[in-house]
């Protein structure tokens, strides 16, 4: 079934470890986004990508790395996890063009706990 999927759905790791969160979409949307959602802060943009091999920073990029070698995949890597990166992470995709206004379609989220 078409859509946007994230894996894993839950992850517990330790401080200092590298963690990669996966995101896959089947719509061939050009734009993809990574957000984190925290109580008191709402959804904040980490990184986004306009197309394969084109990425840019969002509001809170420090400590994160992204890549996009294929249109359908947009992995997010925490190079050395910290407790402050404990959060729920959402991937989203959107299509731009005539009649489109950056309407975003979200994945189910990954709940990450850093001990």
Partner 1 sequence: TQLLEQSPQFLSIQEGENLTVYCNSSSVFSSLQWYRQEPGEGPVLLVTVVTGGEVKKLKRLTFQFGDARKDSSLHITAAQPGDTGLYLCAGNFYSGAGSYQLTFGKGTKLSVIP
Could you identify the residue written with the tokens 């109580």?
39
Among residues 54 and 79, whose Cβ is nearest to partner 1?
54
List 113's β-bridge partners, or say none. 12
Q: Does 43 bind partner 1 (CB under 8 A)?
A: yes
Which residue from 61, 63, 77, 105 is in contact with partner 1, where contact means CB under 8 A? 105
List 33's β-bridge partners, or say none. 48, 92
Cα distance between residue 55 and residue 48, in whole Å: 6
The answer to whether 47 and 76 have CB atoms below 8 angstroms apart is: yes
Which residue from 59, 70, 84, 115 is in contact with partner 1, where contact means CB under 8 A? 59
In whole angstroms, the minimum distance from the beta carbon of 80 to partner 1 comes to: 27
In whole angstroms, the minimum distance from the beta carbon of 44 to partner 1 comes to: 8
Q: Does 108 bind partner 1 (CB under 8 A)?
A: yes
Q: Which of 74, 39, 72 is nearest to 58 (CA)?
A: 74
**In the complex, which residues of this chain contact partner 1 (CB under 8 A)?**
31, 33, 40-45, 48, 50, 56, 58-59, 90, 92, 96, 101-109
């Amino acid at each position: 079934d078409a859509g946007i999927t994230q894996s894993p759905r839950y992850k517990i790791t330790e401080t200092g470890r590298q963690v990669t969160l996966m995101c896959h979409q089947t719509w061939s949307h050009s734009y993809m986004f990574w957000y984190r959602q925290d109580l008191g802060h709402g959804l904040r943009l980490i990184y986004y990508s306009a197309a394969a091999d084109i990425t840019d920073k969002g509001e809170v990029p420090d400590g994160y790395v992204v890549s996009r070698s294929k249109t359908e995949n947009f992995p997010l890597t925490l190079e050395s996890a910290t407790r402050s990166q404990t959060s729920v992470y959402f991937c989203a995709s959107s299509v731009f063009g005539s009649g489109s206004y950056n309407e975003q379609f979200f994945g189910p989220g990954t709940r990450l706990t850093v001990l």
